[in-house]
Amino acid sequence: MPPFYELAVARFGQSSSKPKWVIVVIFSPSSGHSLIYQIAGSSADYSMEAPQSVTLKEGENGYSGKVPVGLADSEKLHQLHATLASIPIVHGNSAWSSHNWVMEGISALRKVEGYHIDKHVTSQWVSERLGEK
């Protein structure tokens, strides 16, 4: 059986503004070595960035926590980028943000073989676990 990697939603940003959410694949929980998928920009020009290899450390680069949402089969990891790249990005709507993109990505991953997203994961559940109101 292939190894599985933890999938999580991570939070970046100051508590005074709306924090940014990203989708994270955690390769090594002990070291924090991870791959981040995110959108960047503003409501006028959001775009998906290339995945970034990072080490998640509390307080560094605006990182302020994560909540596990499921598992990814290491042999199916190649499908993650294509799945997330297919998520429509909304422009010109200030109510739409990284939170929407992350939750639409999680919803899409539920349908991909090799990805196991916990059934209870909703936007409200993620917000509560990340300490947001």
| pLDDT tens figures, 79-120 | 999 999 999 999 999 999 999 999 999 999 999 999 999 999
- DSSP one-letter string for 86-122: TS----S-TT--HHHHHHHHHHHHTTSTTEEE-TT--
Q: Which of 8-17, 42-51, 57-66 has the highest average model confidence (pLDDT)?
A: 42-51
Query: For 23-38, how does the pLDDT look when each residue is reduced to its tens digit (9 = 90+)?
Result: 999 998 888 889 999 9
Query: Taking 70 as the threshold, does the pLDDT of residue 2 lie above it?
Result: no
Query: For 7-17, how does the pLDDT look when each residue is reduced to its tens digit (9 = 90+)?
Result: 999 998 865 56
Taking residue 17's Cβ as centre, other Cβ atoms within 10 Å add up to 7
- At 49 the pLDDT is 94
> Looking at the DSSP assignment, which residues form a beta bridge with residue 8?
24, 68
In whole angstroms, what is the distance from residue 30 CA to residue 93 CA?
39
Please tell me which residue, 89 or 60, carries the higher pLDDT value.
Answer: 89
What is the chain's length?
133
- At 89 the pLDDT is 96
Query: Taking 90 as the threshold, does the pLDDT of residue 63 lie above it?
Result: no
* CA 77-52-31 angle, 5° bins: 80
User: Residues 6 or more apart from 104 whose CB is under 8 A from it?
Assistant: 87, 88
User: What pTM, to 2 d.p., does this model score?
Assistant: 0.91
Q: What is the SS3 assignment for 1?
A: coil
Helices assigned H by DSSP within 1-133: 78-85, 98-109, 123-129
